[in-house]
Amino acid sequence: SVKKGFDFTLMVAGESGLGKSTLVNSLFLTDLYKDRRLLNAEERIIQTVEITKHTVDIEEKGVKLKLTIVDTPGFGDAVNNTECWKPVADYIDQQFEQYFRDESGLNRKNIQDNRVHCCLYFISPFGHGLRPLDVEFMKALHEKVNIVPVLAKADTLTPSEIKKKKLKIREEIELCAIKIYQFPDCDSDEDDDFKQQDYELKESIPFAVIGSNIVVEAKGKRVRGRLYPWGIVEVENSAHCDFVKLRNMLVRTHMQDLKDVTRETHYENYRAHCIQSMTRMVVKERNRNKLTRESGTDFPIPAVGDMTDSQTEKLIREKDEEVRPGDPQAESAHLLGQPPADHEQRSQQKFETECGSHAGARSHLEDEAL
């Protein structure tokens, strides 16, 4: 895997103007958005939330990283932002859907994994805590993706204001029962330094960040920063913000855990939900077929209640047992009651009707691989 390199998909979300693009460019020392055209006030009135995707190859100390950034321009920009998280949620589901299809297919060797491993959610430093839209967004997404909240443009806050605001936001996240990404607890036999680091990381939430792609001269050194009349803000100075902490967490210490939680929790949740509704459909169809054969008519007849609800549930549980990963062909064959040969085409159709309700939203996707 080291030789092949790593894949990682990072989503950035939050109100326009909070420095999402600048932070991404600062984090990965690239310029992903050089062709971006900002909309003017009139255009923004009719603008909707879109999803854009950028891919960049990064190499650090011989280790290759294929990084995909998913952005959500227009989010929170409208006068009425009701359900503006929907295209974002749909995008995440579509990636799961695609992965599920590929995984259920014949060739499982070279699946391209586009699942979103982490979502940096940008919180305005001007809010008195979380805004209603922040709460709505995180609640709508927290069971689909690892949310890591960041306090945007933290150079607008003094250290004591940052401290207070972080505490307030953590309290509100708990109060609203929002499940953000949880750093795994470190082992009890780790040394004290490591434990302290871990504690500090957890206390940093939401990471106070500042982005800049401008190199300025501060005390004789050339650093990424912002030059104000009253001083120089240094992005990578830990006395100024949590930028370095966030970068280390993302690309060094927790990348694998973010991928593991995505695979083991968020994707499995999606998959279980899909299989359940597919099985329910199969059960219904079987009942219908039985009746059809007996009555000798070709018209689909509504299933009569010859099976109680608890019986249906039992059958679903049995089906769930059968479809444990291992033999992809057997899996699909069992599930659909068909010989293996044409299982792929069939499962394709099932998906279209069962899980493919986001087809409309997909047209928003604009793949701008650089």
Residues in contact with a second copy by CB under 8 A are 15-19, 38-42, 44-45, 77-82, 124, 126-136, 153, 155-156, 158-159, 172, 175-176, 226-234, 239-240
User: Taking the complex as a whole, how short is the minimal distance between the CB of residue 25 and a second copy, in angstroms?
Assistant: 16
User: Taking the complex as a whole, how short is the minimal distance between the CB of residue 37 and a second copy, in angstroms?
Assistant: 11
User: Taking the complex as a whole, how short is the minimal distance between the CB of residue 248 and a second copy, in angstroms?
Assistant: 20
Contact 258, 246 (CB under 8 A): no
Q: Which residues of 59-77 are buried (b: 16+ CB within 10 A; e: fewer)?
A: eeeeeebebbbbbbbbbbb
* Strand 147-151, strand 118-123: pairing: parallel
Minimum CB distance to a second copy smaller for 224 or for 254: 224
User: Taking the complex as a whole, how short is the minimal distance between the CB of residue 144 and a second copy, in angstroms?
Assistant: 20
Q: Which amino acid is at 106?
A: L
Contact 172, 138 (CB under 8 A): no
Q: Is 296 left (phi over 0), alpha (psi -120 to 50) or beta?
A: left
Minimum CB distance to a second copy smaller for 39 or for 255: 39
Please tell me the distance from the alpha carbon of residue 143 to that of residue 262, in angstroms, as a whole number: 10
Question: CB-based contacts of 206: which residues, under 8 Å, 6+ apart?
Answer: 123, 149, 150, 151, 166, 169, 170
User: Taking the complex as a whole, how short is the minimal distance between the CB of residue 249 and a second copy, in angstroms?
Assistant: 22
Minimum CB distance to a second copy smaller for 135 or for 315: 135
Minimum CB distance to a second copy smaller for 80 or for 112: 80
User: Taking the complex as a whole, how short is the minimal distance between the CB of residue 270 and a second copy, in angstroms?
Assistant: 26
Please tell me the distance from the alpha carbon of residue 236 to that of residue 228, in angstroms, as a whole number: 16
Contact 218, 234 (CB under 8 A): yes
Minimum CB distance to a second copy smaller for 126 or for 194: 126
Please tell me the distance from the alpha carbon of residue 67 to that of residue 90, in angstroms, as a whole number: 21
Minimum CB distance to a second copy smaller for 240 or for 259: 240
